[in-house]
Amino acid sequence: MLADNGIAISMDGKGAWRDNVFVERLWRSVKYEEVYLRAYDSVSEALASIGRYLDFYNCASEHPSGYVIEEKRFC
């Protein structure tokens, strides 16, 4: 189905676990530190709350050397 629609599969062909380990770790953090701890009343509330969490996560995960990329300078 993906190939039929011109979508390239992101794995290196061997199905290596390291292909998306960083994204999997991010989603684990989102689920266990935000989603599973809240009882959202609506989809819009969930989107807003998860958005705030991602803002927090991005600021909290800056490199300890103090290096801040331009987009993160207001964290």
pLDDT for position 39: 94
pLDDT for position 22: 82
What tokens does 52 get? 């705030």
pLDDT for position 29: 92
pLDDT for position 36: 96
pLDDT for position 56: 87
Could you tell me how many residues make up the chain? Answer: 75
Spans of the chain, pLDDT less than 50: none
Reported pTM:
0.59
pLDDT for position 15: 63
